[in-house]
Amino acid sequence: MGQIFNFAAGPAQLPPELLTQAAADMFNWEGTGLSILELPFTSDEYRALAARTEADLRALLDIPADYQVLFLPGGAYAHMGLLAMNLLTPGQGADYVITGHWSQRAAAEAQRFCRVRVAASNLQTGCRDIPPPTTWRLDPAAAYCHITTNETADGVQFHETPDTGDVPLVADMTSDFLSRPVPVTKYGLIYASTQKNAGIAGLTIVIIHHRLLREAATEIPAVFDYRRQAAAAGRVNTPPVFAVYFTGLMCRWLRDRGGVTAAARAGEYKSSLLYRIIDAQPLYDCPVVPAARSRVNVCFHLTDPALQDEFLTRAEECGLRFLAGHSDTGGLRASLYNAMPEAGVQALAGFMNEFAAHRQPA
């Protein structure tokens, strides 16, 4: 069996050296004689691990001191509803910018708890671009304005941070978290589950400005009450210790490779290798306008859809796994998170060129 490259959207490929490290820490974590899985969350050791992970994250993303970093359970989908419960005051609504699958789900989930206004949407034009922020119809009284910085299923990504004035900007960054620098001060709240680009499943990171950590207007389970979790340093109950540990490994790994600036450069290089082939070969098509294309999830399809099954089967034979698109959007998708090496993308690029060469009329 040759090398396998995992192009899944998440849980996704991890750096092999970190898997080796985790395997060793499974039996003896940092010389304690304890498995990392046996570490009590009330111990000084866990506190130190969580504090170090938070400090590394703050350094990587340059998170100012007036923002709280929370390590929470639930996954990003849970926090789509929870953030509405935490941020809204009675009678307030929230603005949503719809750019694809995940922002729609964020709005639908928030709708269960609050009045949702769609400030802008690209649905009419088929989720191919980011609606220009100058055209957004923002409500100055909204509790917040929600965006999804990278649409994992559609391959659409914000490349600039919109300005929403006094209304706090809230962002689901699940799929492009730690893939590039972020001007954190332009956001009121950033959330991301870690199984895409920052670790394994089980942990959601919430970065929230102190000003937004007020008493919630509704009853919220204590574990999901951001203010209570902040006050308890994320230990209202048992946190996902192993997932926090793994995000810690990812932060150090990324730091040693030049941090998010280097990650952004690598993402640009890797994604452009694929977009160049998609644009050059008539067999491939990417409907997303170039200015809004994702550097993280390259979504495309075959202009002859009858060949898709063969494409996927052949790719698997070459060790190129999980290239099918999201079940709702179909087509093909190559997820290029930080752990995807250039060699993996080159292997996929070679495969795509070869597949196209053999399927095209002369």
Residues of this chain that interact with ligand PLP (CB under 6 A) are: 10, 75-77, 102, 148, 152, 172, 174-175, 193, 196
The residue (of 164 and 193) whose beta carbon lies closer to ligand PLP is 193
**Residue 102 falls in the annotated catalytic set:** yes
What phi and psi values does residue 332 have, to the nearest 5 degrees? -125, 155
Q: Residue 239: which of 202, 213, 265 has the closest Cα?
A: 202
Query: Closest CB to ligand PLP among 76 and 315?
Result: 76
> Which of these is catalytic: 102, 154, 176, 270?
102
Closest approach, Cβ 61 to ligand PLP, in A, equals: 17
Nearer to ligand PLP, 68 or 174 (CB): 174
| Residue 261: half-sphere exposure toward Cβ, Cα within 13 Å | 4
Contacts 24+ apart (CB under 8 A), 181-186: 181/61, 181/62, 181/260, 181/261, 181/264, 182/61, 182/260, 184/61, 184/62, 184/63, 184/64, 184/67, 185/64, 186/161
Q: Which helix (H) or strand (E) holds 348?
A: helix 342-359
> Among the options 56, 95, 154, 172, which is catalytic?
172
**One of 154, 196, 225, 270 is an active-site residue; which one?**
196
Indicate the residue whose CB is closest to ligand PLP. Answer: 75
Min separation Cβ 171 and ligand PLP, Å:
10
* Least distance (Å) between residue 360 CB and ligand PLP: 33
Min. distance of Cβ 202 from ligand PLP in angstroms? 9
DSSP string spanning 249-314? HHHHHHHHTTHHHHHHHHHHHHHHHHHHHHHH-TTEE--S-GGGB-SSEEEEEESSGGGHHHHHHH
To the query of whether residue 172 is one of the catalytic residues in this protein, the response is yes
Q: Which is nearer to ligand PLP, 104 or 281 (CB)?
A: 104
For ligand PLP, the closer CB: 191 or 300:
191
Q: Check: CB of residue 300 under 8 Å from CB of residue 360.
A: no
Cβ 337 to ligand PLP, closest distance in Å?
11
Concerning whether 196 is annotated as a catalytic residue, the answer is yes
What amino acid positions are annotated as catalytic residues? 102, 172, 196
